[in-house]
Structure 1
Amino acid sequence: MKLTRREFLAMAGRASAALPFLLGQSGCTGFVIKTDPETGLSLGYVAGDVTHDSAIVWLRAQPGSLVSLQYGKDPALSEFMSLAPISVESDSDYSARIKIERLEPATRYYYRAAVAGKKPGPIARFLTAPAPNDNAIVKFCFSGDTRESYQPFTIMDAIRANQPNFFVHLGDTIYADRNGTATQLPEFWAKYRDNRDDAASQRLFADTSVYVVWDDHEVADNYEGFHPLAATARRAFFDYWPVGRNSQETDRLYRSFRWGKVVDLFLLDARQYRDHSSGTLLGKQQKEWLFDSLASSSALFKCIATSVPFYGGGRDRWDGYPRERAEVFQWINQKKIKNVASISADVHYAAVTRLSDRLRLKEIVAGPMAAPLNVLATGLSKRFEFFFNKNFNFGMITIDPKSSTPHMLVEIRDPINETLYKTRIDAV
């Protein structure tokens, strides 16, 4: 039997998906992550929560070291600015999140960490968002689900090849409850170290910035509301991702980011405020924030990033909260909010779903990047405009406000960067 290249790679992907089960599960001890003796650094960098004038950089250094961040516009950093050194401490697993401020919009910045007495680390880069009134084209990629036993995460190289302005990780960034269950903070840290040690992930994170939300597997399967491990798991999440802390509500993960006049990105926390008895997935404060933010947005497109999809997947997703889901759609209709789209992951298949024809509301589902494929899902629902569960995948969105008809171009791509599906959503 002769196979096409795509068929061969799809078969290889499914074979690698089965491999962890064939080899058995490992304990939750984590790999030994060696520090580079020349630089005193380990696990690369991650830039995140980028705005038009700021960014947060995550890094990890050898115990007891003082580390500073150098940054500038010169790719070789022959000229740079330097932030005051900070000490990495054991209570954050020797990681640090450093905020860079007073940056220029729509500008490529280069940065590196420097441990006192050591050679400076490698140079990475990120792009700041356009100014709020800038009508620039925006391109970003997104997906979810990265389970350590499915390394290497080669799909990260495919994402990187598209040179997105930023990448959105929609949760299940680790699997704390698989291949050894994490119950203590050092065990959660070990899960993050294992995934951050992936070479393809380090290459992607060195080349663009990241917005990240969590889902259930950062804590436990189908985690919702109060869970005895939630506080510990949330601390580890903050320790290992460049996520800004809200000064009024330090545990808050929902937040928004604007890229010019083109898109407002609303990142939801679909886990820690759930209460089935009250029928809420978002909780009162987050729902009010989302409603107010959507109504006040002047961006061309409003993109809701939810770790779980609005349609499909059963009780653990928005299907389990039909009243609140209806409230979201009713608010969009009542306030006549145009050009809303949703991106999500979690269900381990890719899809483009018609949520409401009347509202012209679509959801783009991507993933997994490296986790079991949902081979039991059928995609027979009439809501599905597209459905795919044969291989790992990611989504890419390009918003062009300068076209004769401003629009959002949606693509679903596979691990070799071939386009599985493409559709265009015109702005109205």
Structure 2
Amino acid sequence: MAPDSQRTPTGRPGAADLPLSAWRFVVWFGVVAMLADVVYEGARSITGPLLAHLGASALVVGVVTGVGEASALVLRLVSGPLADRTGRFWAWAIAGYALTVVSVPLLGLASVLWVAGALIIAERVGKAIRQPAKDTLLSQAAAVTGRGRGFGVHEALDQAGALVGPLAVAAVLAGTGGDYGPALLMLAVPGALALALVVWLRIRVPRPERYEQGGTATPARRTPPRRRDAGEVTRLPGTFWLYAAFAGLTMTGFATFGVLSFHLVTGGLLPASAVPVLYAAAMVVDAAAAVLTGWAYDRRGVVVLVVLPVAAAAVPALAFSATVGVAVAGVLVWGAVLGVQESTVKATVADLVGPGRRATAFGVFGAVVGVAAAAGGALAGGLYDVSVPLLVAVTAALQVVALGVLVVILRRARAARVG
């Protein structure tokens, strides 16, 4: 059998003349994500305690982290279509990484709540700028490797950084007596490495769409992409919109780690220095869940996502417990849910929408999920202050509705195969 650089799953001639095979591209792109994750996941692991240190309440933590996640997702409604229209996927990806790796070290210098909140949101805006373009670039190579496996391996590498970052932050916090400044400033080093590597990868493979095309198109000059009309986004497939509704519902009933860590620290369950360690453990679970569900998705299809609302419903019931062991278990389940959301859920979007509108689809999908993230962060923070049992009940109800939407999607898929 020919290697992945020679032949696609459909049997077409592969991109043999590209300097990197599809799998190597996926792995190197994963290393970029890994280094970036050292930066922003290291920072996110202490977001709740940092904001609390600066005087934030649970509601403020929920709003800031929820708006941050919303910014990372809703703004993709702009960056996705613009990436499709310009065709400059690499430029958008590099610009987004640059904003993230600058914002996090500056957070280490913040001593005022609103400044810290603004930098947390700015870091998430960087993700909004790069993510539709980055996902599109990755999906082009993953068309050769298998989308579930490609996105899964990428997420696993990504989460290796999410493991190292929080552990490094925890070590610096322990060594400085809980001083957040040095812990965040040292993240400038992996940030610079991530930026240098993504620029190198762009130079090596300027046109990764050739992976998906089978390497057959080798024009001397790039053809400018067709400009899309503003209404074209509405012509995304109907199943895509239903799938976006499913993902949005699961995210609405999903608390941010900022709220979870707030509970752990203010509830006296863990010291602030231990929270990044627990976050790192959750990222290990995230990586394992991404690879396993990605492999299962390539074999079984969308049905594997039944696990998503079921696991998400269990998170608040466990994580907001007053018992340390149960709360820790809840955070680990939270990590598994995140792994599915960041890999297999994205792989499905790439399979639902063709390459010409894929960045737009990723952007729209991110916008839908982003609104849900904002609602979920504020909902979790607000209900936590009122009643944890009520928070658990509301989350469970939302996940039941999400499961119902997924059942409709599965029935439509089955009917399409029969037809």
TM-score normalised according to structure 1 size: 0.23
TM-score normalised according to structure 2 size: 0.24
The structure with the greater share of residues assigned to helix is: 2
The structure with the greater share of residues assigned to strand is: 1
Bigger relative CO (Cα 8 Å, ≥ 6 apart):
2
